[in-house]
Amino acid sequence: MRKMPGPSGSDASDWNQSIAGIVHAIGGAAFFPRLIEALGTRVGADFPQVWYYQRGRAPCALYYAMDASDEPAHIDDYRNGGYRLDPFYISFCEQRLDSGVWRLDDLSGGVQSRGYFLDYYSALGTVDEVVFVINVDDQSALHLCLMRARQSQPFSASDMQSLREVESLVRELVLLNARCGALDPIQQAAHGLDGSIEHARRMFGSTVLTGREKSVLDLLLRGEGTRESAQKLGVAVDTLRKHRKNIYEKLGVGSQNALFGLFLDAVGTVARAPAQDPLVARLAQREQV
């Protein structure tokens, strides 16, 4: 199991030393990994995740750190509909949550009493969940979710205090990252305002992938989950996963996070070479560096 580094109660100097790295990463792909790593110097968690909520749209996973075996339950199943019963998502839709550090039980009054637990949460293998809720505007929010596995202890009062002590700083860093354009490609793609992103999606990987792999890739880049993608393509889930594995190997990435990062890097090449696979153009840029 992959865990956030640093036990609860780590020296505050570890956090302070991490701030410079976070600030340096603002606006780039390393921002959320460094922020989650820094939070790990204060409080440990087993399944850290960052989700972007936009009103009227399915949540988008911006970052997560967990074993691949945990991804189907935590990421795919959530995107495929688990979010609809999530007290955090419901509270976002109803605009009932101020920015701050929230515990799941604060919203649900005991998660086991809700359909969310029976229909989705019980499969996650978690014992507790704390979320940094950061409202970007009246239409969107970022949720930094820290979960602990059943074999771990629930978050203690001192853990909660440690997280609340840095909440305002975390919020300002995340909002600054957003103001620096980190969310622009996601917002533009969601609203269909950026033709270059749609063009890049159609062309991305076309020179190295088979037709079926390209169809799978297109769904992955649209944020579709494994089961939903398999249904749309009329294939078995295991077949879809094999295609995804082949795609990762051919593109030289190890996760969906890395895939999104590679795609966003490649979008910038479209204007210079619109007829070319942006993946090829991006890899050529890297070789020149």
Supply the pTM of this predicted model.
Answer: 0.62
Q: Collapsing DSSP states into helix, strand and coil, what is residue 170?
A: helix
Q: How far apart are CA 220 and CA 180, in angstroms?
A: 25
Report pLDDT for 204.
84
pLDDT one-digit tens code per residue, 52-98:
998 888 888 888 888 888 888 888 888 877 788 888 888 898 888 89
Question: Which residues in the chain come in under a pLDDT of 50?
Answer: 1-10, 110-113, 192-194, 289
Is 220 exposed, middle or buried, given 0-12, 13-18 or 19+ CB atoms closer than 10 A? Answer: buried
Tokens 């398999």 belong to which residue? 230
Report pLDDT for 178.
87
pLDDT one-digit tens code per residue, 6-36:
444 445 566 767 887 888 888 888 899 999 9
Report pLDDT for 194.
45
Q: Which CATH class is domain 194-281?
A: mainly alpha
Q: How far apart are CA 157 and CA 87, in angstroms?
A: 22
Token readout for 188 is 């533009």
Report pLDDT for 117.
63
Q: What are the domain boundaries of the chain?
A: 12-180, 194-281
12-180: CATH topology: Beta-Lactamase (3.30.450)
Report pLDDT for 8.
40
Report pLDDT for 34.
92
Angle between helices 157-165 and 167-177 (to 10 degrees): 50
Report pLDDT for 30.
86
Report pLDDT for 158.
94
List, in order, residues 6 or more apart from 81 with CB less than 8 Å away.
none
